[in-house]
């Protein structure tokens, strides 16, 4: 039994007990030992001084290895998962047109709540093809099918030389362990550095301070959602991986819906071409998401809020204050338990619906039906349906084990069979992300060497390691910001019809505070309200407006569909303007006009009603009443609209 030490500073506590002396800690002391830093448990907490000591050790270790830290999301970032039993059926049928694309899909069984099934050895069945084909009558739950993003194995192995890899997922602990066992079977990449929603402490947000409460200057994040990170400047937003088309993120049922991605430019398809896959599934869309971030902080940014709060907490409180804290903690625990219960219920409902409705089977049927009209005689002749691409077979697919290789008796599908595949294994996002991560690592250590040289302490004594960790360091946030600003550097952008002002004066927004304006500046562009000779790009949702006519009279201005902006931002690379020239007949009534964050016909940005009414004859004729009267005009609203236009101009 541990001996209680009256002089113990209680640097670590577990379940209310000091892990050093064994003393039961009261509420006042617990507040000073409140920083959770363990991946595997939220119940292990440390004091501010202990957090600083541990951070110094990990920082020194990274510096000696010349690595940075990388936090990796799972779902739709490096893998895509579904519980649709259609996948299991396709895996058994080498003749199925989707079979080749599924060659390296992994499988495991969990409960409908995403947790381990009692009496079922989950880890013994991960990736086992025979197990996934076994009858299910004896075991409750469902099979999860996991597709690694193309190139994942090489991506992770390459990054492990430059980054210490951490997993941070909104999936359950059982789910996270199973997925990591698939992508990292020997545990050499992630080790025990896996944080799930069970230990996160929040069902809605992820936080850097949960893993790095002291210093985040060496930490990079890759995730397909920026909103759960509160648009952290450490984030590299990844385009969502949507292999199982239309399925989405099965572990995001309790999160707010992600903003819908914009549709592709109407100029990207030539006359006569049809995107059959998109027509077959109304839910399918381009994987161009909104890019979001936050203003880059200075290199000497303050300590994280978690550490600051812990450092400023008084160590002694009155009995009344301690009782209040105990009550507040109890209420918070009850609320968290209720939220977790609701999340499990919601997830169970979504998974049940997915299993029962079999969306992939329906999508395949719709595609077959569409293609049957294009190829009524099973001809391979080219036609308007030739837009559909193959799903190539990968003999050495990334992340696939020897046991996962396709059988030697695989019958290679013919051209028409591949044409009918609804699943496409053609994603190339990880190569783009790796280029960015390599550039960040190279710049960070180039700056470090410029500040301190490449020499390291000869010993690993605590004093030497602390001195090393205490040296001024570059900040990845600043490097990420610098790289982003290169994308649209030199561009002076005016938006037309893509920023909503709201229907009432009190709902009108200041254009400078909108996401699209902020993101444009974040990626290096200068934004203006009106068209003039200094403008380089007009991003317009439709043709025929006054701004479009003004811009077309200035030869140096590119008049572009908003997809140019979204694609450039999503890819962190400026797209060729000629691919996105706004068609002269582009209309906001077309589907492609619902472009940014769901903004569509309600968008008017800085163009007044008068500006819209100067469109060519007939363009708004149907919208104008037969008798125009000034009596119904809200002059206050009109004044607000004019003020919004003239603001800062």
H, E, C per residue of 225-254: CCHHHCCCCCEEECCCCCCCCCCCCCCCCC
Q: Which helix (H) or strand (E) holds 82?
A: strand 79-82
User: What are the 10-residue block averages of pLDDT along the chain, 649 residues in total?
Assistant: 61 76 70 69 76 88 95 97 94 93 93 64 53 53 94 97 97 94 95 92 88 94 94 95 91 70 48 39 37 41 44 37 48 64 74 82 84 58 42 40 40 53 93 97 96 76 81 96 97 90 58 87 95 96 91 95 95 95 68 38 43 39 37 50 50
pTM: 0.72
Q: What is the DSSP string of 90-118?
A: HHT-TTSTTTGGGTT-EEEEE-TTSSPPT
Please give the DSSP secondary-structure letter assigned to residue 581: B
The DSSP letter of residue 530 is S
Residue with structure tokens 């906001």? Answer: 588
Alpha carbon distances (Å) from 541 to 117, 193, 500, 508: 51, 45, 12, 19
> Beta strands 163-168 and 194-195: pairing type?
parallel
Answer yes or no: 73 catalytic: yes
CA distance 391 to 101: 6
Q: What is the C-alpha to C-alpha distance for residues 425 and 110, in angstroms, rounded to an integer? A: 26
**What CA–CA distance (Å, rounded) separates 82 from 129?**
16
User: How big is the CA angle at 578 (ends 572 and 583), to the nearest 5 degrees?
Assistant: 115
Handedness of CA 212, 217, 220, 226 (dihedral sign): positive
**Burial tier of 317 (Cβ tally within 10 Å: 0-12, 13-18, 19+):** middle
How far is it, in rounded angstroms, from Cα 247 to Cα 281? Answer: 11
> Does the annotation mark 136 as catalytic?
no
pLDDT of residue 98: 93
How far is the C-alpha of 351 from the C-alpha of 346, rounded, in Å?
9
List, in sequence order, every beta strand (DSSP E) within 285-436.
Answer: none
| pLDDT at residue number 376 | 56
Contact in structure between 517 and 511 (CB atoms under 8 Å): yes
Q: Considering only CA atoms, which of 385, 417, 431 is closest in space to residue 101?
A: 417
Q: What is the DSSP letter of 338?
A: H
231 contact partners, CB below 8 Å, separation of at least 6: 292, 293, 294
Burial class (CB in 10 A: 0-12, 13-18, 19+), 366: middle
Model pLDDT, residue 35: 73
The first and second tokens of residue 478, run together, are: 């600043």
Environment class of 525 (CB within 10 Å of its CB; exposed 0-12, middle 13-18, buried 19+): buried
* Active-site residue, from 7, 73, 113, 482: 73
Longest dimension (CA), the chain: 91
Per-domain residue ranges for the chain? 429-484, 489-646
pLDDT of residue 619: 37
* Fold held by 489-646: Rossmann fold (3.40.50)
Residues 6+ apart with CB under 8 A from 93: 99
Q: Are 522 and 484 contacting, i.e. CB atoms less than 8 angstroms apart?
A: yes
Point out the catalytic residue in the list 26, 55, 75, 482. 75
Residue ranges with strand state E in 122-271: 142-148, 163-168, 194-195, 219-223, 235-237
Helix (H) or strand (E) run with residue 199 in it: helix 197-200
């Amino acid at each position: 039994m541990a001996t209680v030490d009256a002089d113990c500073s209680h640097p670590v506590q577990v379940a209310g007990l000091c892990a050093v002396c064994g003393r039961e800690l009261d509420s006042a002391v617990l507040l000073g030992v409140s920083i959770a830093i363990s991946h595997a448990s939220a119940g292990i907490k440390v004091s501010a001084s202990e957090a600083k000591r541990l951070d110094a050790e990990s920082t020194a270790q990274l510096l000696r290895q010349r690595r940075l830290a990388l936090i990796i999301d799972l779902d739709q970032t490096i893998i895509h998962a579904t519980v649709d039993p259609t996948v299991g059926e396709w895996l058994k049928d080498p003749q199925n047109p989707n079979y080749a694309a599924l060659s390296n899909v992994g499988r495991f069984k969990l409960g409908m709540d995403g947790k381990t099934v009692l009496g079922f050895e989950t880890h013994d069945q991960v990736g086992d093809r025979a197990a996934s084909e076994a009858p299910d009558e004896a075991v409750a739950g469902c099979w999860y099918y996991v597709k690694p993003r193309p190139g994942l194995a090489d991506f992770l192995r390459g990054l492990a030389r430059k980054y210490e890899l951490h997993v941070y997922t909104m999936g359950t602990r059982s789910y996270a362990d199973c997925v990591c066992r698939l992508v990292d079977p020997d545990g050499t990449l992630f080790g025990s550095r896996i944080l799930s929603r069970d230990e996160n402490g929040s069902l809605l947000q992820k936080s850097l301070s949960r893993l790095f409460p002291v210093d985040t200057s060496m930490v990079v994040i890759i995730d397909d959602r920026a909103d759960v990170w509160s648009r952290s400047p450490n984030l590299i937003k990844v385009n969502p991986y949507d292999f199982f088309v239309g399925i989405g993120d099965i572990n995001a049922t309790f999160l707010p819906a992600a903003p819908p991605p914009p549709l592709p430019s109407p100029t990207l398809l030539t006359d006569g071409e049809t995107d059959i896959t998109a027509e077959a599934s109304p839910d399918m869309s381009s994987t161009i998401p909104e890019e979001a971030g936050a203003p880059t902080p200075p290199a000497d940014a303050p300590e994280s809020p978690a550490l600051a709060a812990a450092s400023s907490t008084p160590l002694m409180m009155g009995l009344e204050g301690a009782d209040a804290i105990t009550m507040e903690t109890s209420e918070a625990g009850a609320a968290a338990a209720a939220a977790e219960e609701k999340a499990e219920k919601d997830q169970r409902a979504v998974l049940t619906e997915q299993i029962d409705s079999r969306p992939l089977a329906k999508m395949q049927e719709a595609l077959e039906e569409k293609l049957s009209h294009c190829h009524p005689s099973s001809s391979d002749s080219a036609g308007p349906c030739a837009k559909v691409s193959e799903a190539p077979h990968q003999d050495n697919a990334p992340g696939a084990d020897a046991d996962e290789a396709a059988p030697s008796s695989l019958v290679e599908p013919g051209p028409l069979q591949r044409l009918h595949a609804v699943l496409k294994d053609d994603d190339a996002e990880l190569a783009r992300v790796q280029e960015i991560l390599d550039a960040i690592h190279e710049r960070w250590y180039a700056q470090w060497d410029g500040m301190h040289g490449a020499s390291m302490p000869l010993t690993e004594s605590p004093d030497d390691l602390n001195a090393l960790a205490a040296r001024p360091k570059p900040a990845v946030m600043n490097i990420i910001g610098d790289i982003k600003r290169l994308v649209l550097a030199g561009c002076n952008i005016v938006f037309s019809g893509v920023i909503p002002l709201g229907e009432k004066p009190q709902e009108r927004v200041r254009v400078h505070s909108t996401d699209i304006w902020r993101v444009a500046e974040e990626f290096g562009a200068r934004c203006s309200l009106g068209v003039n000779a200094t403008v380089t790009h007009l991003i317009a949702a439709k043709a025929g407006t006054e701004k479009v006519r003004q811009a077309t009279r200035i030869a140096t201005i590119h008049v572009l569909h908003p997809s140019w902006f979204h694609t450039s931002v999503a890819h962190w690379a400026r797209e060729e303007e000629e691919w996105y020239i706004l068609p002269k007949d582009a209309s906001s009534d077309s589907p492609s006009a619902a472009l940014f964050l769901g903004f569509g016909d309600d968008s008017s940005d800085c163009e007044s009603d008068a500006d819209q009414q100067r469109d060519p004859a007939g363009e708004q004729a149907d919208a104008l009443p037969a008798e125009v009267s000034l009596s119904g005009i809200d002059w206050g609203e009109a004044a607000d609209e004019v003020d919004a236009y003239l603001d800062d101009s």
